[in-house]
Amino acid sequence: RCHTALSDEEAEHADVEGALYYIRYPFADSAGHVTVATTRPETMLGDVAIAVNPDDAERRPLVGRHLILPIAELEIPIIADEHVEAGFGTGFVKITPAHDADDFEVGRRHDLATPIVMTADARMADAALGGKPGGRVPAPFFGMDRFEARKAIVAALKEKGLLEKVETRLHAVRHCYRCDTVVEPRLSEQWFVTMEPLAAPALEAYRKGQVRFIPERRGDEFEQWLTGIRDWNISRQLWWGHRIPVWYCEQCGLVSALREDPAACAACGGAMHQDEDVLDTWFSSWLWPFSTLGWPERTEDLARYYPTDVLVTAPEIIFFWVARMIMAGLHFLGRVPFHTVYLHGTVRDTHHVKMSKSLGNGIDPLEVVQRYGADALRFAVTSGLAVGTDIILDPHDLDASFASGRNFANKLWNVGRLLLSTLGEAPVPPLASLPDERLTLADRWILARLAAVAGETTEHLEKFRLNDAVGTPYHFLWDDFADWYLEEIKPRLRGEAPGGDAARVVAAHAFDRVLRLLHPGMPFITEELFRKLPGNGAASIMVAPWPGADAGRADPEAERDFAFVQAVVDAVRAIRADYGVKPGQKVAATVGRAPAWGLDAVRRERHLVDRLAQLSGLEDGGARPAAGPGAHAVLPGGADLFVALGGGVIDLARECEKLRAEATRLGTQLDAVRAKLANETFRSRAPADVVARETEKEQQWSAKRDAIAAKLAALGCA
């Protein structure tokens, strides 16, 4: 349909259910016939021979005899050629040099004619007759479309009794990658680029590690393609594009490829005309890495920006573009244009079909932007980009794909609103100006988390784990910063608890840094919020330094202590929900059998615990488990939690059962870990740190089980 020549890369194979026609070609000088199978009977008009395998003892003797080509009514010879595979099909193959690439090679070996029997728009016509019926294409078929002609020819053969049988079979048919029309092989004159000399250096560069592909297996495809590279047809019979810079002399026939339009033939001074064809669009694209920088001039830009680092593109474009850019870069500039090629996934629908405008299974990004926001779109897509995977989106349920991005954008914005409303206009002092002793446990904890998150995010980005690179700061912002830290500092910021200044500094710092970490995934909102932060003024987050692990401060002790605080709050909340305690109703809790550091942590974060757990009081229960009427729980390290619930809401039997169930579950795990530790082969073969970890697990769990046992006893559970 495009009416142009294509390169091999532009022809896509698709399995199609087709018919295999068995056609009889009668002998010219005697009775009898040979049978030939073809999927494209209309091309028989262009047949110039029938071939058999040279080693085919049975058919070999027929070589040299002549057959009548039906319909065209011409005599054609039987020849021998190794192209024919012995024992396959009927053993006879029709040779149509002008309409099949293999047959062309056969024809060349045997010096056969190459009659063309179709026009450029796939209508039947003998090219030798210049648009008149006759010759190889008899009048009844002249001008027919190739597929109509197929039917007509089959019908004619049937009538003459020359159609032996028809079988259906699946076979690979080449389609145009642009218009999906079946590609018709047809002999024509085209310009080619000899690829082997270009491919060799590219192959060498790849094998030396100068270019790497992510995911790695794409590199194998690249290597495979370069290894078996075929010459590149660059002529296109299209009306747009760069015209091929080849001129033909009208007098002496000189053919010259020239950089400037010639006034006259260099050899004889005759008039010249330029080739009518245009270049394959990829023929200009492969120069992109340097032609955009001013090449062939030796510009400053070229010196500075070539080569670049990473090319991000789609996998289906590796051969069209990526490989050719590498070849062109090496050829014209002697260096690969980029050291890393990141191939991202393809967006598909729920049936895993690639989304496309022509199929109508796509999602309109503008609609998504309208309904969910540009950041939500980018975030949702990036979140799905694990290395080497495709992205499946449901065009009929946009919420399923994009709600989370929108929700997060909204969350981030609201965190910003809260902070900005309390930070005020004046620049916040830098974190470095804050002496360590002014930091509370929560401050130290969030800075420790920030350090870890900044380090992890950086590592994810460097390894192209984009989903993790956006997911890590996402969880930090939401689960740590918003859910815990902001709740912790609210009273401090309002002056209801001490340490407001430190809270302001730490919060501003942590928020600023997490905005930077989130910026690749949520560019617009982070930029907007960054500019609003006091003191940032017109600065853009795009050029703000990327935070490394030193954005925060590692602090294992703070992490341990704050985790204890969180465990207490979580346990009380679970109990409240379990017993349906009214949201506003305060309860009193007791923490017993707790390590000194844990009690200290809870004491220091009392304002947080009280507020989040809605406590009226929090007491140290000492060394003995609580036994009064109320709800009971045991924290991970074995600490005892008791929430006094009066008014008959407590069912003692239920409490016992709950605790017993937990003891049973814990018992199974303990047995497993103890068996492991008792196993001599494990102790001797497993790495020391693994053994240490298992030992610690055993201690933690047995402490917790002892605590539960003690509690069961104290409660008098049978």
Partner RNA sequence: GGGCGAAUAGCUCAGCUGGUCCAGAGCGCCUGCCUUACACGCAGGAAGUCGGGGGUUCGAAUCCCUCUUCGCCCACCA
Token pair in block for residue 83: 């192209």
Cα–Cα distances (Å) from 536 to 425, 483, 531, 532, 583, in that order, read 10, 26, 6, 7, 40
Q: Does 352 bind RNA (CB under 7 A)?
A: yes
Exposed / middle / buried, residue 155 (Cβ in 10 Å: 0-12, 13-18, 19+): exposed
Closer residue to RNA, CB minimum distance, 119 or 407? 407
CA 137, CA 676: separation in Å to the nearest integer? 84
CA separation for the pair 114, 127 (Å, rounded):
10
81 burial (CB, 10 Å; 0-12 / 13-18 / 19+) is buried
Among 16, 60, 75, 88, the residue binding RNA under the rule CB under 7 A is 88
Q: Which stretch binds RNA (CB under 7 A): 156-164, 301-309, 330-338, 399-407?
A: 399-407
Yes or no: say if 591 and 640 are a contact pair by the CB < 8 Å rule: yes
CB 53, min distance to RNA, A: 8
Residue type, 258: L
Applying CB under 7 A, among 167, 300, 394, 671 the residue interacting with RNA is: 394
Q: Is 386 in the site for RNA (CB under 7 A)?
A: yes
Residue 177 binds RNA (CB under 7 A): no
**Region near RNA per CB under 7 A, out of 124-132, 244-252, 403-411, 534-542:** 403-411
Q: Residue 297's Cα: distance from chain center in Å?
A: 36
Alpha-carbon distance 210 to 149, whole Å? 53
Q: Is 468 in the site for RNA (CB under 7 A)?
A: yes
| Cα separation of the two ends of the chain | 85
- Nearest approach, Cβ of residue 254 and RNA (Å): 34
276: helix, strand or coil: coil
Distance CA 445, CA 437 (A): 14
Minimum CB distance to RNA smaller for 258 or for 312? 312
Cα→Cα distances 223→64, 201, 206, 213, 220, Å: 44, 12, 8, 11, 5
The span from the CA of 50 to the CA of 106, in Å, is 11
Q: Nearest-5° angle of CA 412, CA 548, CA 305?
A: 100
Cis peptide before 556 (omega within 30 of 0): no
Give the DSSP letter of residue 117.
Answer: -
Residues 494-553 interacting with RNA (rule: CB under 7 A): none
Among 75, 180, 204, 220, binds RNA (CB under 7 A): 220
What does R_g of the chain's alpha carbons equal in angstroms?
39
- Catalogue the E-assigned strands of 116-245: 163-176, 192-193, 212-214, 232-233, 235-236
Residue 344 corresponds to which tokens in the numbers above? 């991202």
Contact between 8 and RNA per CB under 7 A: yes
Among 559, 682, 698, 702, binds RNA (CB under 7 A): 682
Part in contact with RNA (CB under 7 A); list of ranges 62-70, 416-424, 525-533, 538-546: 416-424
> ∠ at Cα 312 (306, 314), nearest 5°?
130
Beta strands in 424-533 (DSSP E): none
Least distance (Å) between residue 46 CB and RNA: 12
Q: Single out the residue of 676, 703, 714, 717 in contact with RNA (rule: CB under 7 A).
A: 676
Q: With 0-12 CB in 10 A as exposed, 13-18 as middle and 19+ as buried, what is 639?
A: buried
- Residues in contact with RNA, counted by CB under 7 A, come to a total of 93
Site for RNA in 114-173 (CB under 7 A): 171-172
| Position among 145, 148, 390, 528 found at the interface with RNA (CB under 7 A) | 390
Closest distance of CB 135 from RNA, Å: 23
Per CB under 7 A, the list member of 37, 157, 272, 446 interacting with RNA is 37
State the minimum distance, in angstroms, from the CB of residue 91 to RNA.
Answer: 6
Stretch 448-467 residues interacting with RNA (CB under 7 A): 463, 465, 467
Taking contact as CB under 7 A, which single stretch among the options 254-262, 274-282, 349-357, 514-522 is the one that binds RNA? 349-357
The reply on whether position 36 binds RNA by CB under 7 A is: yes
Among residues 238, 45, 78, the alpha carbon closest in space to that of 156 is found at: 45
Subset of residues 563 to 582 that bind RNA, contact rule: CB under 7 A: 570, 573-574, 576-578, 580
Which of the residues 590 through 649 are near RNA (CB under 7 A)?
none
For RNA, the closer of residues 319 and 321 by Cβ is 319
Q: How far is the CB of 475 from RNA (least distance, A)?
A: 7
- Whichever of 444 and 705 has its CB closer to RNA, that residue is 705
Closer CB to RNA, 60 or 685, in the complex: 685
Residue in 417, 438, 586, 624 binding RNA, rule: CB under 7 A: 417
Alpha carbon 85 to its chain's center: 41
Q: Which is nearer to RNA, 244 or 465 (CB)?
A: 465
Q: Among 192, 679, 699, 713, which residue interacts with RNA (rule: CB under 7 A)?
A: 679
Query: Which residue number, 19 or 627, has a Cβ lying nearer to RNA?
Result: 19
Binding residue (CB under 7 A) for RNA from 384, 395, 429, 523: 384
Q: How far is the CB of 280 from RNA (least distance, A)?
A: 16
- Residue 142 vs 408, nearer CB to RNA: 408
CB of 473 to RNA, least distance (A): 13
CB of 422 to RNA, least distance (A): 9
Pairwise CA distance, residues 474 & 465, whole Å: 14
Residues 229-268 binding RNA (CB under 7 A) are 230
Q: Is 125 exposed, middle or buried (0-12, 13-18, 19+ CB in 10 A)?
A: buried
Question: In this complex, which beta carbon is closest to RNA, that of residue 58 or of residue 620?
Answer: 58
- Output the smallest distance, CB 58 to RNA, in A: 13
* Binds RNA (CB under 7 A): choice among 196, 669, 671, 713: 669
Instruction: Say what angle helices 500-518 and 523-532 make with each other, to 10 degrees.
Output: 150
The interface with RNA within residues 264-323 (CB under 7 A) comprises 315-316, 319
**Class of residue 648 by CB neighbours under 10 A (exposed 0-12, middle 13-18, buried 19+):** exposed
183 makes contact with RNA (CB under 7 A): no
Smallest gap from Cβ 469 to RNA, in A, equals: 11
Segment interacting with RNA (CB under 7 A) among 58-66, 393-401, 627-635, 705-713: 393-401
| 684-713 positions binding RNA, by CB under 7 A | 685-687, 690, 693-694, 696-697
Peptide bond into 315 cis (omega under 30): no
Residue in 19, 26, 39, 210 binding RNA, rule: CB under 7 A: 39
Per CB under 7 A, contacts with RNA among 92-121 are: 93-94, 101-102
CB of 592 to RNA, least distance (A): 21
Sheet of strand 340-343, all strands in order from the earlier edge strand to the far edge: 212-214, 340-343, 310-313
Output 624 or 685, the one with its CB closest to RNA: 685
Burial class (CB within 10 angstroms; exposed 0-12, middle 13-18, buried 19+) of 574 = middle
673 CB-near residues (< 8 Å, 6+ apart): 694, 697, 698, 701
